[in-house]
Amino acid sequence: MIPINKILEIRNLHVTFSTYGGEVKAVRGVDLDLHEGETLAIVGESGCGKSVTANSIMRLIPTPAGKISNGTIRFKGMDLAKATDKQMRNIRGVDISMIFQDPMTALNPTLTIGTQLTEGVRQHQNLSKKEAEQRAVEMMNLVGIPNPHERLKQYPHQFSGGMRQRIVIAIALIGEPDLLIADEPTTALDVTIQAQILELFETIQKETNVAIILITHDLGVVAKVADRINVMYAGKIIEAGTREEIFYQPKHPYTKGLLQSIPRLDQKGEKLLPIDGTPPDLFSPPVGCPFTARCPHAMVVCEKVYPLRHQPTDSHYADCWLYDERAHTTNLNPKKEEMT
């Protein structure tokens, strides 16, 4: 499948947070591309910067602590990193929507579902109450909520967790966005509900051709729905490729480690291999490859210099020294000057 139109292009994105302990470099030079109707998964463990990247696109990083310190976020020819608050308000909910992790807290307990569903379109498209409710009912049908007319008048506490997540998805979709950012949309749900919600994503994409950025730490979720996968570690994308490439030909030792640490039905009795150690401290991130300290194949150069990009196919790359031709010929200890 060759997607045609690129709708989102992130280049060299840096996001920092100032805290009492100093400046946290949460995202350190992320490049990311997204095409129409495509699902891109950003995978990584807690604190790797995947949520911050997503929130940057929506410009929902908590200010004044956090800020986009460098880079561009091109969306439909506009740089979101430099957009004004007013411009952002016209993009949020209309062009880009977001789904949050915990449906139990993402809905306002004091407003009816109907109000929460319709207020976005009513503001942006000047729909009358009736038109907006009609749209809401259509959306509720799309996400599979029975009795939509009655449900509109109810409050969030009258819905189950899975139903609430469907509502959250309906709210995100009602403005007919081109891009949907789902930040761990299934993490807080039961496994059976997770599967339903993932299927819902597939249905929605077929019907609306919306592009989805799926943020998750669950490779099982990724395997089901993602077209392409970006693996994030310590604020950088260290490997990117199609689903098949990442699952069957992982290049980066971190990606391999992640894949070994998920249980598989076809390998009975094998022990899961956790990745030892913890991610580096992002107050003072390492100069070289951030995975060095935990990497079973680490070389001297890894610690000193950030790896050059290894690109086996057009769609696949990994930032790792192991694939450099010099890795096996030299004494695994190239001089610094040569590498930079």
Partner 1 sequence: MIRYIFKRFLMMILTIWIIATLTFVLMNAIPGSPFNEERTSNEAVQENLERHFNLDEPPIVQYFAYLKSIVTFDFGPSIKKPNDTVNDLLARGFPISAELGIISIVVALFSGIALGVIAALRHNGFIDYLAMTIAVLGISIPNFVLATLLIQQLAVNTGIFPVATWQSPMHMILPTLALATGPMAIIARLTRSSMLEVLTQDYIKMARAKGLSPTKVVIKHALKNALMPVVTILGTLLAGILTGTFVIEKIFAIPGMGRYFVESINQRDYPVIMGTTVFYSAFLVFALFLVDIAYGILDPRIKLHKEERG
Question: For partner 1, which residue of 157, 268, 271, 328 counts as binding (CB under 8 A)?
Answer: 157
Q: Are 94 and 179 in contact, with CB atoms under 8 Å apart?
A: no
If binding is defined by CB under 8 A, does position 110 make contact with partner 1?
yes
Q: Are 79 and 8 in contact, with CB atoms under 8 Å apart?
A: no
Instruction: Specify the 3-state DSSP secondary structure of 316.
Output: strand
If binding is defined by CB under 8 A, does position 92 make contact with partner 1?
yes
Question: Per-residue x/- marks for partner 1, 24-63, CB under 8 A?
Answer: ----------------------------------x-x---
Report the nearest approach of partner 1 to the CB of residue 187 (Å): 13
CB atoms within 10 A of CB 247: 16
If binding is defined by CB under 8 A, does position 275 make contact with partner 1?
no
If binding is defined by CB under 8 A, does position 98 make contact with partner 1?
yes
Q: Which stretch binds partner 1 (CB under 8 A): 14-22, 99-107, 136-144, 295-303?
A: 99-107
Residue 271 phi, psi dihedral angles, 5° rounding: -80, 145
Nearer Cβ to partner 1 (129/206):
129
Report the nearest approach of partner 1 to the CB of residue 80 (Å): 13
Strand order in the sheet with 22-35: 22-35, 6-19, 66-75, 78-79
Residues binding partner 1: what is the number (CB under 8 A)? Answer: 32
Instruction: Specify the 3-state DSSP secondary structure of 223.
Output: helix
Q: Are 213 and 131 in contact, with CB atoms under 8 Å apart?
A: no
Max Cα separation, the chain? Answer: 73
Report the nearest approach of partner 1 to the CB of residue 249 (Å): 36
Distances (CA, A) of 313 to 51, 97, 170, 240, 246: 27, 32, 37, 11, 12
Q: Which stretch binds partner 1 (CB under 8 A): 37-45, 89-97, 243-251, 325-333?
A: 89-97
Q: Which residues bind partner 1 (CB under 8 A)?
A: 58, 60, 88-94, 97-98, 100-102, 105-112, 119-120, 123-124, 155, 157, 168, 171-172, 175
